[in-house]
Structure 1
């Protein structure tokens, strides 16, 4: 689906032409067509140019005045720190989760569904061709579990018309070509936005250069973080979102965070052999800052509360970047990395 949508500026049109139905009929337009355009039953993109031109003449305005262009390339705030910082979720985008089994991809999807389905999003999962015990939480958090794409098409064009929808599809449906055919279905225009998550239950995606084809966003999982039980195990260096541009200040903080974490990983690998006591002052500062940042990016999930006995946390984007500024720019020598594990924002520990 395109990230841009056009619709008729109905309120403006009616304010300029109070008796719109009568005026449209007198101008040679079918009243039913005009009514359907105003209600959105007929998408503006399918309207004849002649119809739009005549409506503009009736309203004594330009065609541009009658058209509203809406940009659906908008960040969706998940409240999950590592996602909102490194690889933001965007409306109408396609997100690929690159992970081997047991790295937490299903738990992350279930958590995203849990957080967003209470914020005007409808959630649907297409039953994977391969079974996995970890699917239980994801299916529980799905508003609808579909057995096929035809079922989803009916759902989106009927019950969920004009809704924001989150869809999870397994990689097997990508390889078979079923997802590609589904995305070409004109009935998808009935839905307000469709954000698609592509998961891989086979564990083969990390071995492919293009595991899902073109993607807007990549959430790549990191075996090193999994081994340390640092969740969500999103790789801070390889997870990216190309469909959303941060503002200048946020972009600098994001890039500085990547730089510190990259340097921290280098130092950790190097001095694990040499001995940490051989670090110079600059290396020690970089190491400590990276250690705190990595600990800060761990986060408790709401769906995991019964198992971890840790309360889930939602960190607003404003708080996230304020915290990044403190962690990267200020001297927080008295702050221990151990105090940051599975906490929310810094206000809970400072």
Structure 2
């Protein structure tokens, strides 16, 4: 977050909006020149305006300052399309970073990255607006004790329990059920616990966003949920900041409303991808596999703000797309360090027709500990994992030689493992129209 001291150094004065002009347009990257001593601070929002002329419509877009490039110029990233924008257009410094409406007025509404409603249901008359760039809670404000969050999903509650106020990663390739699992969690938390949720759609399919909105309206879950969308068709600047917008809404409910909030982010990989696009547009040298050099810093700026405090908690469930099912890719690897539990969705389990396709051996939880979940729960979970691990080891023998070649003890293990697999699957409320199961 930009401090007042930094603003003084750049000469920015929020009471008198500084005006400049566009000097260069490179896609969504716009360079603007300001009078000497009136340079906007880094992360300030600037408004770019251009009147209609000929076939070009009137332009009024917001951009975020990313770099000071010398000669009284700043490099900004536009949060909307720059089609038709030309040099000489007016640029007005807002004197602050992007601010979004917060509070109960946002519940049941769908917002964009700037906090503007995009659900055609009128304006949001919120009492307060908060900046999207904020500091993480201090060490002394954070809560360190663990508490289990019941999800109503058997395989998760038994083998990878979610901590309240923790960060959970849903790992999986394309089409293994990450979004469906998130929708089920939203439904269960709202219906069974009456909890508030914030859903941030980061660079995902517009159709999925539309389906989610309609499903939530139908199930009345939307009354306890705020949604912010920056989908695939949006510029990279929007996809990079939409996660921070959703997080800011959740922080208000935690810090002011003193509530336990669920923050769903779908998809963290698209957040990283947007950061890589912005980094390339700004001319930074790429690092491993073409990702941005500040990947770890960018990830931490989002993740460190997601935590439990003495007043409330934010529990984050983040879908993380794994490129080519490679968990060593820098994008999923960068998120591992921040997570308290990981739920890995496996294509091999999808091929068996078992849903949710949670891999019980690859998935982990920091709180699967007898001191937290209890001795009985811990022992049952470990025994289930032992049986499933033994079954996995026997599968090659079964495939080559058949069940008949196994010892009687191994046949019992296989029988138990198959029963456990079926027990850990369950029909989802949100997938009822596809599965036919109520």
Q: Shorter-chain TM-score: which interval? A: 0.5 to 0.7
- Output the CA distance in 2 between the equivalents of 1:297 and 1:231: 8
Q: How far did 1:254 drift?
A: 0.8
1:187 Cα shift?
11
- Residue 156 of structure 1 corresponds to 250
The Cα offsets for residues 53-72 of structure 1, whole Å up to 9 and x where unpaired, read as: xxxxxxxxxxxxxxxx9765
Quick check: 1:181 aligned with 2:301?
yes
Give 1:82 deviation, angstroms: 0.5
Cα separation, 1, equivalents of 2:319 and 2:368: 21
Q: CA RMSD in A?
A: 3.1
Q: Which residue of 2 aligns with 1:165?
A: 261
Alignment of 1:1-350 (within 5 A): 73-118=146-191, 119-131=193-205, 133-139=207-213, 140-141=215-216, 143-147=225-229, 148-149=242-243, 151-152=245-246, 154-158=248-252, 161-169=257-265, 170-171=267-268, 172-173=270-271, 176=275, 178=298, 180-184=300-304, 192-201=312-321, 203=323, 206-208=326-328, 210-214=333-337, 215-245=339-369, 246-311=373-438
Moved more, 225-234 or 268-277: 268-277
Partner-residue secondary structure (3-state), 1:219: strand
- Quick check: 2:391–2:414 contact (8 Å CA) kept in 1? yes
> d(CA) in 2 for partners of 1:184 and 1:268?
42
Consecutive unaligned residues in structure 2, runs of 5 or more: 1-137, 217-221, 230-241, 276-296
Distance 1:254 1:190, change over 3 A: closer
In 1, the alpha carbon distance for the partners of 2:342 and 2:308 equals 23
Greater displacement, 232-241 / 150-159: 150-159
**Rounded Cα–Cα distance in structure 2 between residues aligned with 1:88 and 1:186:** 18
Shift of 1:132: 6.2
**Post-superposition shift, 1:165?**
1.2
Q: Give the direction of change, closer, same or farther, for the CA distance of 1:150–1:278 in structure 2 (3 Å limit).
A: closer
Provide the rounded CA distance (Å) in 2 between the counterparts of 1:187 and 1:78: 19
Shift in Å, 1:133: 4.4
CA contact (8 A) 1:165 1:191 kept: no
Contact persistence 1:94–1:217 (CA under 8 A):
yes
- Tell me how far 1:274 sits from its aligned partner: 0.4
Check conservation: 2:176, 2:350, Cα contact below 8 A.
yes
**Residue 265 (structure 1) shift:** 2.2
| Richer in helix (by share) | 1
Pair 203,123 (structure 1): closer, same or farther in 2 beyond 3 Å: farther
Greater relative CO, 1 or 2 (CA 8 Å, sep 6+): 1
| Aligned pairs, number | 247
What is the distance in 1 between the residues matched to 2:306 and 2:383? Answer: 43
Shift of 1:242: 0.7
Question: How many angstroms apart in 2 are the aligned matches of 1:258 and 1:98?
Answer: 19
Displacement of 1:81 in angstroms is 0.8
Q: Deviations over 1:56-104 (max 9, x none)?
A: xxxxxxxxxxxxx976521111121100111011111111111001111
